Structure 1
Amino acid sequence: MNFVSTRGGVAPTPFDAALVAGLAPDGGLYVPESIPRVDLEIPRATLAATAEAVLAPYLAGSQLRTHLAALCREAFAFDAPLRPMRGAGDHVLELFHGPTAAFKDYAARFLAAALGALRAPGTPDTTIVVATSGDTGAAVAAAFHRRPGFRVAILYPDGKVSPRQSHGLECWGDNVQAYRIAGSFDDCQRLAKQALADTALRAERPLGSANSISLGRLLPQAAYYAHAAAHHHGAHGRPLHVIVPTGNLGNACAALLAQRMGAPIGSLHLACNANDTLPRFIAGAAYAAQTTRATLANAMDVGAPSNIERLRHWFADDDALRAALRATPVDDATIRDTIAAAPAQHGIVACPHTATALHVLETLRAAGDTRDWAVVATAHPAKFDTIVEPLIGRTVDVPDALADCLARPASAITLATDFETWRQALRAG
């Protein structure tokens, strides 16, 4: 299968070339030329098997096609369980059982394994550039740590992630370097895109991307939605409706992709924090990026979501997009209230991001919606102990993998937001 740019300025590109490039040469995001239909109502035995079924049509003609089963087993080695909550028809899709306790572990591991398999022996090291608002950087660092042929440069907004998230970005060493940027996530994302679009820099130092702009992040994330929906449909004979916490819209695009491929997914509702660029747009306003606001759900602190280009590409026009999706902003006060009430009301402990989706679920139930809904739990609450624990009145157990990260020493380089300083740091790295 070939892939095209959301901006229309690039000839159809094979999967392998699009994966390695990350960003399309015209500055757009790669999308499939067409979205294939796959029988995804069949409940497959493992998440890895579902991932293989989802990814197979996209890798037709790829050098990776014969390695796909092994790549999926490596990337999806831990489950993404769909568990019932206390309310009738209420479920939580837990995506935090990987090495850095966040949903981004699945796709980051697939991307690292795929790029490693494509790398020709003797070629120069590739620097994977990743901007993060909290969880992406750690997942990418874990996936590429000590992987031959790769270096990782993580950009994150100084002071705008939780203490444990910050440690998880800085604790790797070896081939991973974290950079604290004196600005917002949007500044980090801008610097990453500028570097990837700098042909002179890329000629001097090969660069790759691991943000949700990468196909290697987008496509694998459709697997856990397809897997959960298939098993729910197989058990109950009904579609699964899904509430996705989202900021840069990568996870939201993956859910839409799974739905369009044929997974038995009903409605999609996007939960945002106070950065309400998307909810304003879905409600009918002209699309307009906004200055990012810092919130408790910091991994969603995005005022200019990159993946809006993919969403708009997949619909005939903005009206069609607005008819297909709903998006709700949730402020910090509501996030706090939802976290505090979640153990008694839902039977779970929620991170701030998951809390935005729980609030949307509560709103839907209050309005009389009786359909089966899954709230997507994107990160383990232990990553946000300073927020969650005072609200629930007890400590949150730390998963073993996260505890291992927290036990390592951490360090980072502080940079300003100007591109030339960042460019020189990449050249010297």
Structure 2
Amino acid sequence: MSEPLHYRSTRGGQHAARIEEVIAAGLAPDGGLYVPEALPYLDLAAFDPHGSLADTAATLLAPFFRGTALAAELPTICREALDFEVPLRPLASHEGASVLELFHGPSAAFKDVGARFLAACFRRLRRAGDTPLTILVATSGDTGAAVAAAFHRQPGMRVVILYPDGRVSPRQAHQLGCFGDNVQALRVAGSFDDCQRMVKAALNDGAVQALTPLSSANSISLGRLLPQMSYYAHAALGWWRRHRAPLNFIVPTGNLGNALACVWVREMGLPVGEIHLACNANAALSDYFDGDPYRPRPAVPTLANAMDVGAPSNFERLRWTFPRDYELRVQLHAVSVDDDTIGATIVRHARQHGEVFCPHTATAVHLLDDMGATHASWAVVATAHPAKFDSVVEPLIGRRVEVPPALAAMLQRPASAEPLPASDAALKAWLRRQVEQPQAVAG
């Protein structure tokens, strides 16, 4: 068996973990985020030129899993998780540019990739008779539904979703509360940053963990972030084979997990070119890349609600990747896009080109629009289907957006969510009550 890759905390802890422990724990013991001791460097010739997305993922992720119990299962895990398309389509509005559609999974958002991969890993790591594990998820809209769909009725697993009440789209809220069984939605009287803080506090509380084992399925979980690299690798390799040029990406960015996945693919030697981050009015990242000190701040609500993050967790991993400010600032470019511009971009592209984008994708499309004539080898990342945001998109374009079948099925189920104050103590007390008054866990 090959020597496994080890993982450490972004905060410098000496504890070295294997991938099984990293996936199970979610967060490092010192409260930091797990990172590999070093990113592997891959040869393009290692990838099957005729391979599927799952084949690309298995080759890409093999170094992260080598020498572990999951290594032999990795190709099967990838086939289970990545059984839907992530097509790179030409953009009608910009010759030479493309859109990478990541919304063809069960919950109609890119989060399906990481959530399904993580669930497939847990199915192999868990054993009959293990204490039920609770997956805590803070969501700004899309993560929760993807995790719920991936873990719904999985034996020995509970999913608890925290979302900011009134700050997700109506259809997102319905998705979050429509599963039942082993999935519980909590609507928090606060922001996404409150939800994220509450989850981290519970994961770091030894007393709570002793009562009920906890893990995470946010992009703070490396088990969810790593598979997100696969669609960047697959798109970039395909583009390279056809054009002998690297593919540049514009990534809608909130908690930075999706963008970091793209950055790591480039650092591993694959043909990814420039990476631009499209932010909404939450400007912590764009201000930093403009030269200001990095300063987390309270999130403000926007039309692109899934990106309403004022303190992006994965900035810790970005700083681990590029420890010096000057080094980091030359790697990425970031721009904030306000609500008026998001709306105008959706309207213009729908009317002039017949292309309908969700508000998050529209932030990236706006950056492409602003590039002028230089569009060749650029791909906009489409993170969610516009039908998830009908209350925003349909009034702007003046017509109905067709709903994908899987989303339509979710919307027909009844949905409910329990209210919760935006405090760490409130979530910990809620979790303790679940132990004292246990509910059924699937299986």
Same structural fold, with TM-score higher than 0.5 when normalized by the shorter chain: yes
CA deviations 1:96-131 (Å, max 9, x no partner) are 000000000011000011012111221110000000
CA deviations 1:282-329 (Å, max 9, x no partner) are 111111101100000000000000000000110140110001100000
SS at match of 1:211: coil
Q: Please say if residues 280 and 304 of structure 2, whose CA atoms lie closer than 8 Å, have aligned partners that are also in contact.
A: yes
Whole-angstrom distance in 2 between the partners of 1:291 and 1:24 = 25
Whole-angstrom distance in 2 between the partners of 1:213 and 1:297 = 21
Question: What are the within-5 Å matches in structure 2 for residues 28-427 of structure 1?
Answer: 28-40=32-44, 42=47, 43-86=49-92, 87-364=94-371, 366=372, 368-427=373-432
Whole-angstrom distance in 2 between the partners of 1:113 and 1:207 = 17
Whole-angstrom distance in 1 between the partners of 2:358 and 2:300 = 19
CA deviations 1:183-205 (Å, max 9, x no partner) are 00000000000000001110110
One-letter amino acid of the counterpart of residue 251, structure 2: V
Note the residue ranges of structure 2 that are not aligned, 5 or more in a row. Answer: 435-443
Match of 2:441 in 1: none
Give the drift of 1:370.
Answer: 4.2
Give the drift of 1:394.
Answer: 1.1
CA deviations 1:4-38 (Å, max 9, x no partner) are 11000132211111111100011100011111112
Q: Please say if residues 95 and 376 of structure 2, whose CA atoms lie closer than 8 Å, have aligned partners that are also in contact.
A: no
Q: Please say if residues 100 and 379 of structure 2, whose CA atoms lie closer than 8 Å, have aligned partners that are also in contact.
A: yes
Whole-angstrom distance in 2 between the partners of 1:51 and 1:118 = 20
Give the drift of 1:369.
Answer: 2.6
Match of 2:22 in 1: 18
Range 388-397 or range 320-329, more displaced = 388-397
Whole-angstrom distance in 1 between the partners of 2:353 and 2:296 = 34
Match of 2:439 in 1: none
Whole-angstrom distance in 1 between the partners of 2:195 and 2:384 = 21
Cα RMSD, aligned residues only? 1.1
Give the drift of 1:236.
Answer: 1.4
Whole-angstrom distance in 2 between the partners of 1:376 and 1:57 = 26
Whole-angstrom distance in 2 between the partners of 1:319 and 1:390 = 43
Q: Please say if residues 44 and 227 of structure 1, whose CA atoms lie closer than 8 Å, have aligned partners that are also in contact.
A: no
Give the TM-score of the pair, scaled to structure 1: 0.98
One-letter amino acid of the counterpart of residue 428, structure 1: R
Whole-angstrom distance in 2 between the partners of 1:82 and 1:40 = 19
Whole-angstrom distance in 2 between the partners of 1:319 and 1:289 = 19
SS at match of 2:72: helix
Whole-angstrom distance in 2 between the partners of 1:358 and 1:114 = 34
- Shift of the 191–44 alpha-carbon distance from structure 1 to 2, 3 Å rule, reads farther
Match of 1:2 in 2: 6
One-letter amino acid of the counterpart of residue 23, structure 1: L
Aligned-residue sequence identity (percent) comes to: 59
Note the residue ranges of structure 1 that are not aligned, 5 or more in a row. Answer: none
One-letter amino acid of the counterpart of residue 165, structure 1: Q
Whole-angstrom distance in 1 between the partners of 2:189 and 2:329 = 35
Give the drift of 1:348.
Answer: 1.8
- Shift of the 29–44 alpha-carbon distance from structure 1 to 2, 3 Å rule, reads farther
Give the drift of 1:343.
Answer: 2.5
Whole-angstrom distance in 1 between the partners of 2:226 and 2:350 = 33
Q: Please say if residues 193 and 311 of structure 2, whose CA atoms lie closer than 8 Å, have aligned partners that are also in contact.
A: yes
